[in-house]
Amino acid sequence: MLLGQMMEMPLTITAIMRHAERVHQDGHISSITVDNPGHRITYGDAFARARRLANALQELGLQRGDRIATLMWNDYRHFEAYYAISCSGYVCHTINPRLFPEQLEYIVNHAEDRALLVDPTLLPLVERIADKLPTLRQIIVAGGAVPDSALPNLVAWEDFIGGASEDFRFPALDEREASSLCYTSGTTGNPKGVLYSHRSTVLHAMACASPDVLGIGSSDSVLPVVPMFHVNAWSTPYAAPMLGSNLIFPGPKMGDGETLAKLINGHGVSFALGVPTIWLGLLTWCRENDVTLEPLERVGVGGAACPLAIMDEFRERHGVHVQQGWGMTEMSPVGTFNVPRKALADLPLDNARQVQVLQGRTIFTVEMKITDDDNNELPWDNEAVGRLKVRGPGVCSGYYRLEDSETHDAEGWFDTGDVAAITPDGNLRITDRTKDVIKSGGEWISSIDLENAVMAHPAVAEAAVIGISHPKWTERPLMIVVAAGEAPSGEELRGFLKGKVADWWIPEDVVFVDELPHGATGKVSKLELRKQFKDYEAS
Amino acid sequence: MLLGQMMEMPLTITAIMRHAERVHQDGHISSITVDNPGHRITYGDAFARARRLANALQELGLQRGDRIATLMWNDYRHFEAYYAISCSGYVCHTINPRLFPEQLEYIVNHAEDRALLVDPTLLPLVERIADKLPTLRQIIVAGGAVPDSALPNLVAWEDFIGGASEDFRFPALDEREASSLCYTSGTTGNPKGVLYSHRSTVLHAMACASPDVLGIGSSDSVLPVVPMFHVNAWSTPYAAPMLGSNLIFPGPKMGDGETLAKLINGHGVSFALGVPTIWLGLLTWCRENDVTLEPLERVGVGGAACPLAIMDEFRERHGVHVQQGWGMTEMSPVGTFNVPRKALADLPLDNARQVQVLQGRTIFTVEMKITDDDNNELPWDNEAVGRLKVRGPGVCSGYYRLEDSETHDAEGWFDTGDVAAITPDGNLRITDRTKDVIKSGGEWISSIDLENAVMAHPAVAEAAVIGISHPKWTERPLMIVVAAGEAPSGEELRGFLKGKVADWWIPEDVVFVDELPHGATGKVSKLELRKQFKDYEAS
C-alpha cells in the first residue's frame, strides 16, 4: 500500500473553534436567557469564555472521557459548554428536559455524569431526582446567581468561571475520541445513548455545510429552533462558526410564535430550522398580527413530515422556501435534505410542491437503501416500499454501554425503523415508522400519507392515524383529528381524501379529540394513542 | 481514552462516486474534445465508463499504488480517468503539458508511471521522449482511433475499454492511501511531486463545497478553466459530482475567449474558475462582439492576483461577481477564498472593491500564520508582512521520493514561499513571493502591489516588477510593461502610481516589451525576467 504524503491533522471540534476564532471572530451569537433577554456575544468572546469554563471544569478533577451533562435551552452558554466540554476531552452529554423524571434519572446514572450544567428554569426537574444521582460532583446553574433551591451543592455559572483564566491549552485529541452523547427516547425500554466522536461530528457538520443542505455562509443569521439538547440542533452549533454565520438562539422561548417572529425580524434571520409544530405557531401569530417575516429566506423542517399547508403559507405570505429534511439521533442527525428553491424555480408550482413534500436526497457521507423483510435490496422507483437502512461515518455503530444492537445488521447497516420508498433520482419518501404501519387485507397502508393528506384540509389542525384491529381485514386505519375551529364531519374528511389516496385506504372511522399526545421530542406519540384507543371497535 | 461509537467509513474518492451515482446520476458533463466538440454524458454513464476503464487497466497487470499518468485537457475522459485510476487503488498522476520535454521525461521516470493516457493533441510531446520512458507499459490515446504516429504501442481509448465490462468492484481502500500525484514546476531544480491521499482529497473537496467557497449545488453548471492536469482543477472534478453540479469542460480550448463565451451562454454556466489571463481573453472577446454572459453569476480567480479592471468589467458589463482565491499544488490546492457578493452588498462600492482585491479567508481545514525570519508569529493587523505558513489535512507533509523537505519546519508548518499580510478579520493579502521581494534601503518593496497598481492603468495589458541591483539602495524595482495599444510614457505611469503606493516604491525605471515570459502554469516567469535584465543598469 502506498500512503499519500499529506499532513496528519485530526478532525476535531477544537479545529472548528480554532478556525472560527481566527477568521470568524466577529460573527456573533444572540440569545434569550432567563437573566438577559437580549444577550449578544461574538464568537471570539464566546470561545474565550469556553476556555474559562474548561479551566473551571478541570478543577473538578475530571478524567479524559468523563461525561458532563447539560440540561439547557439553546443559548450562548450551552454553545460555550459544547466547546469547553468536548475540546477538553470530556463528553458533552445533552439531556432532553422533556423526558420523564425516571428517564432523566436513568440516563444520568447510566452515563455516570460527573457534573451537570442546568438552566434555572429546569432546576425543578433536577431537584426531584437529585438524591438519586450519586455520580454528580457539581451542579452548575446557568446565570449569575443561584436560585432558591433545596439542593446543597449548587454554583452559579458566572461564579464557577469567575476566577478562571482565559488561557487554556486544549489537549491534542484523537479524532475518534468521544465528543458528545445523546440518548434517544425509544417508545419502549430504556433510552439508548448515541456516543458521537469528534470525527463524526466534524464530518457531519462539513456535509451539512453544503450549499444544498444548510447552505449558510458568512452573510447568514441562523435561528435553530431545533434543540441543542437533542440531535445537536442539526449541527448548527458546529456548522455556523465553521462557516461564519451568526447564531440566533431563542432560549426557553422555542414554542412562542411572537418571540420567533421578533427574533427573525430583529436579527435578520435568513434561515431557521425546526419541527412543523413550531412553524404552525409562528405562522398563526404572524397571520393574526399581520406581520411578515422579511429577512427570512428559507426554513428547514424535520422531525415529522411537513404539511403542505405550512409550505404554502410560508411561500405565499412570506416568500420563504421550506426544505424538508430527515434524520435521527443515531445519524448525528441529518440524513437527507430537500433541494433548494433555485432547483425548483423552473418547475410548475404543482410539480415543485410534489418535490417539496419529499424528504430529499442523502447528504454526502450518508448512504441509504430500502430492503424487504429478507434484506433484499429494493429498487428506487418510488413504488417499492421497504425498511430504510443507512450507513456512513456520522451513523452510530452501536449504543453506549449496550452489548448488542438489534438495529444494526451483519453488514453494518443501521435499520432506521422507518419505512420508505425512494424516487429514481434519490429522493426519500418516508411512508411510515415500521411499528406504525397498518396491515390491512395483507397490504400496507401508510399512516403518514393519510395524515399528510388530511392535514391539507383547512379545518384540520393536526391528525394522526393508527391501526385498529378488524375481524375481516386484520387492521383498519383510525383517523384521530384535532380540528382548527369548528370540527368538520368525518364524512367531509372522507370525501376530502377521495382521489388523494387509494380508495381502500380511506378510514371508515374518524374521531375528534382536543389534543394529541406528544413525546419528549415533540412527535405525536402513537404508542399513547394506541393505548387510548385499544378498545375502539372498527365500524 | 473513550472512543465514540460511530461507523468506520473511510473518506475515499470511491465514496464520492458512489454518492453521485445514487443521487446525482442525471447530472451531466459537457465537453469539447478533438473527436467531438459537443459531447455530453451523465454522471451515471461517465462512472459506468470509468468502471470499464478500471477493468481494462487491471488487465495491464498493475499493482496497488502504481502510478498511471494523464497528459490531457479538461474533458469527460479525463474525469473518468480520475475516478477509474484512484478508485482502483492506483495513483492518478496528472502531468502538465506545458512543461519542458526534459521535465516531462524526468517526472514520468521519477514517478515510474506504468501507463499513460494522452490527448491526441499532446501526442507529439510524448513522441519526442517516448524512447526514454522505460517504465511505460501502455500508451492510451483519448478518442476512437489512433492518430498517425511513429510510436508502436498505442491504443485508442475506446478500443482499450471496448471489450471491458461495466461491472467492476472497486477495492476497499484505506483513506490514507495515495490517490493522485502532481508535480510542481519549481523555478529551480527538478519538479517535486505532491502525493495526495483519498482522505486529503475528500476533505479538501468537502471544505471547498462550503457556500462561501465554491458554493455550488445541484442547480449550478460549473466551468473549470483551471486545468485538471494541474492543481486538480481546484477540486471541481470531485466537488461537482459530490454536490450534483454539472461540469462544463473546454477541452483544449481553454484560452479561447469565443469558445468560453459560447460555453457559458450555451450551457447556462453559473460559476467559472480560472487564472486572470483567461478572463482577459474572454472579456475582450465579449466586448468586441457585444456579447453578455447572461447565466454567469460568479467567477473564481486564482493563480495570480486579479487586476481590479477585470473585476470591474465583470461586474459592470456582465453583472458577475469575482472572488479571488489563493492556493498551491502543495495545498490540494485551495487555501483561501474571498467572500461572496452577498457579504459585500451593503458596503459602498469602493470598500467592496478593497475587499475583493484580497485573497480571502482560509477555508475550513486550512490554518495559516505569518512569521518573521526567526519564525516568530506576526500579528494579523494588515501591516506586518511575513512569510506565509500553512498546515492542514489537505497540505502535503513532504514530497514524493524526496528524503527532505526544506519547506516544512520543525513543527510541521509548510512554508508557502509567499510573503503576506493578514487583515484583523483574517483576509490574506499576498504581497510577494519570498524570492521576488525587492529589498531597497533595508526595507521591502512588494512587487505584486506595484504590479496591481500599474495594471489598473488602461494602457497597461500586463506588468511585472523585479529587483535590479543598485549601488546605494542594494536593490531598486524595475517595472516591465506590456502596453495595451499605444504605450504610455514611463513618466505617465510613474505619475499614475503616485498616491497609490509609497513614494519611495515608485520605480525610476520602466521598460516596455512585446510580451512577458510565462511558465508552465501560466504565471509570469520572474526568473526568466531576471535573466533577461541581469545587466540592466539602474538609473
Residues A300, A301, A305: CA angle, nearest 5 degrees: 150
- pLDDT of residue B67 exceeding 70, the answer is yes
Residues B303, B326: Cα–Cα separation, whole Å: 7
Cα maximum dimension of chain B = 72
A150 at interface of B, judged by CB pairs closer than 8 A = no
Q: Closest to B177 (Cβ–Cβ): which among A3, A391, A398?
A: A3
Question: B388 to chain A: which residues are within 8 Å by CB?
Answer: none
**Interchain CB contact of A185 with B (< 8 Å):** no
Minimal Cα distance from A63: which residue of B?
Answer: B1
Strands, sheet with A115-118, edge to edge from the N-terminal-most edge strand: A154-156, A138-141, A115-118, A67-71, A91-94, A178-184, A192-197
Q: Check CB contact under 8 Å for B206 and A207.
A: yes
Mutate to test the interface with B, among A1, A21, A23, A67 (most CBs of B within 10 A): A23
A to B CB pairs, distance under 8 Å: 231
Distance separating alpha carbons of residues A529 and A538, to the nearest angstrom = 15
Angle at A265 between CA A261 and CA A267, to 5 degrees: 115
**Which residues in A lie closer than 8 A to residue B198 (C-beta atoms)?**
4
User: What is the rounded average pLDDT of the residues B516-528?
Assistant: 84
A357-383 tens-digit pLDDT: 999 999 999 999 999 989 999 999 999
Rounded to an integer, what distance in angstroms lies between the CA atom of residue B180 and that of residue A110?
Answer: 47
Chain A contacts of B4, Cβ < 8 Å? 176-179, 195-200
Instruction: Report the SS3 class of residue A269.
Output: coil
How far is A119 from chain B, CA to nearest CA, in Å?
Answer: 27
Q: Contact A6/B218, CB-based, under 8 Å?
A: no
Closest by CA to B137, choosing from B158, B114, B156, B119, is: B114
A153 in helix, strand or coil?
A: coil
User: Are A446 and A417 spatial neighbours (Cβ–Cβ below 8 Å)?
Assistant: no
- Across B129-144, average pLDDT: 96
Chain centroid to CA A380: 26
A219 vs B340: CB contact, 8 Å cut-off? yes
What is the grid cell recorded at B341? 457578493
> How many whole angstroms separate alpha carbon B350 and alpha carbon B357?
11
- Say what the pLDDT of residue B187 is: 58
Q: Cα–Cα distance between B209 and B240 in angstroms, integer?
A: 9
Q: How far is B22 from chain A (nearest CA, A)?
A: 6
Of B202, B203, B181, B201, nearest in space to B193 by CA: B181
Tell whether B426 lies on the interface with A, counting CB pairs under 8 A.
yes
Residue A469: phi and psi, rounded to 5, are -70, 150
Distance from CA of A484 to the nearest CA of B (A): 38
* Residue B326 in contact with partner chain A when CB distance is under 8 A: no
Q: Phi then psi for B344, rounded to 5 degrees?
A: -100, -5
- Chain B residue with Cα closest to A211: B211
| Closest Cα in chain B to A330 | B6
* Average pLDDT score, chain B: 94
Percent of chain B with pLDDT over 90: 81
Instruction: Identify which of B352, B429, B448 has the alpha carbon closest to the alpha carbon of residue B386.
Output: B429
pLDDT at B188 over 80: no
What is the β-pairing status of strands A115-118 and A91-94?
unpaired
Q: Which helix (H) or strand (E) holds B252?
A: none
Query: B20 in contact with A at a CB cutoff of 8 Å?
Result: no
Question: Which of A1, A196, A210 is opposite residue B4, by nearest beta carbon?
Answer: A196
A343/B219 CB distance under 8 A: yes
pLDDT at B520 over 80: no
B5 and A177: CB-CB below 8 Å? no
Write down the pLDDT at residue B439. Answer: 86
Task: Say what the pLDDT of residue A187 is.
Answer: 58
Query: If you ran DSSP here, which 8-state letter would residue B326 be given?
Result: E
Residues in chain A with pLDDT < 50? none
What single string gives the DSSP state of each residue in B107-139?
Answer: HHHHHT-SEEEE-GGGHHHHHHHGGG-TT--EE
Does the beta carbon of B41 lie under 8 angstroms from any beta carbon of chain A?
Answer: no
Categorize the per-residue pLDDT at B15 as very low, low, confident or very high, splitting at 50, 70 and 90. Answer: very high
- How many other C-beta atoms are found inside a 10 Å radius of the C-beta of residue B471? 8
Q: Does B355 touch chain A (CB under 8 A)?
A: no
Q: Which residue of A has its CA nearest to B425?
A: A23
Residue B397 identity (one-letter amino acid): S
Amino acid at B286: C
Q: Are strands B138-141 and B154-156 parallel, antiparallel or unpaired?
A: parallel
Mean pLDDT along residues B485-514? 92
Supply the ipTM of this predicted assembly: 0.92
Q: How far apart are CA B158 and CA B144, in angstroms?
A: 5
Indicate which residues of B carry an active-site annotation.
184, 330, 439, 444
Q: Where are the alpha helices (DSSP H) in A112-248?
A: 123-129, 157-160, 198-208, 236-243
| Residues B509, B536 contacting (CB under 8 angstroms) | yes
C-alpha cell read off for B523: 504565471
A444 is catalytic: yes
Q: What confidence score (pLDDT) does residue A524 get? A: 87
Q: What are phi and psi of A87, to 5 degrees?
A: -75, -20
Give the SS3 label for residue A513. coil
pLDDT above 80 for B84: yes
Taking only residues 49 to 68 of chain B, the set having a beta carbon closer than 8 angstroms to any beta carbon of chain A reads 64-65
Helix (H, G, I), strand (E, B) or coil at B242: helix
Q: Which residues pair with B432 in a beta bridge?
A: B419
| pLDDT for the residue numbered B307 | 85
Looking at per-residue pLDDT, the higher value among A435 and B481 belongs to: B481
**A351 interfacial to chain B (CB closer than 8 Å):** no
- pLDDT average, residue stretch B155-174: 97
**A409 grid coordinates:** 445488521
CB B250 within 8 A of CB B259: yes
Please name the member of B6, B18, B19 whose beta carbon is closest to the beta carbon of A200: B6
The whole-number pLDDT of residue B448 equals: 87
Question: What is the rounded average pLDDT of the residues B306-327?
Answer: 95
Nearest to A200 among B4, B340, B414 (CB): B4
Q: How far lies B377's CA from each of B368, B369, B417, in Å? A: 10, 7, 16
Band of residue B85 on the pLDDT scale cut at 50, 70, 90: very high
Q: Would an 8 Å CB–CB cutoff place B15 in contact with chain A?
A: yes
User: Which of the residues A330, A451, A462, A475 is marked catalytic?
Assistant: A330
Residue with cell 386484520: A474
Q: A91: which chain B residues are within 8 Å (Cβ-Cβ)?
A: 2
Kindly tell me if the per-residue pLDDT of B362 is higher than 80. yes
Which amino acid is located at A245 in the chain?
S
Separation CA B173–CA B54 (nearest Å): 15
Minimal Cβ distance to B342: which of A196, A219, A361 = A219
- Measure the CA–CA gap between A87 and A50, rounded to whole angstroms: 9
CB contact under 8 A, B6 and A400: no
What is the four-CA torsion angle of A325, A330, A332, A338, rounded to 10 degrees? -10
Residue of B1, B3, B5 for testing the chain A interface, max A β-carbons within 10 Å: B5
Q: Quick check: bond before A171 cis, omega within 30?
A: no
CB of B394 less than 8 A from some CB of A: yes
CA distances from B215 to A216, A306, B296, B299, B311 (A): 10, 27, 14, 11, 19
pLDDT in tens, B208-218: 999 999 999 99
Query: Between chains, do A6 and B367 touch, taking CB under 8 Å as contact?
Result: no
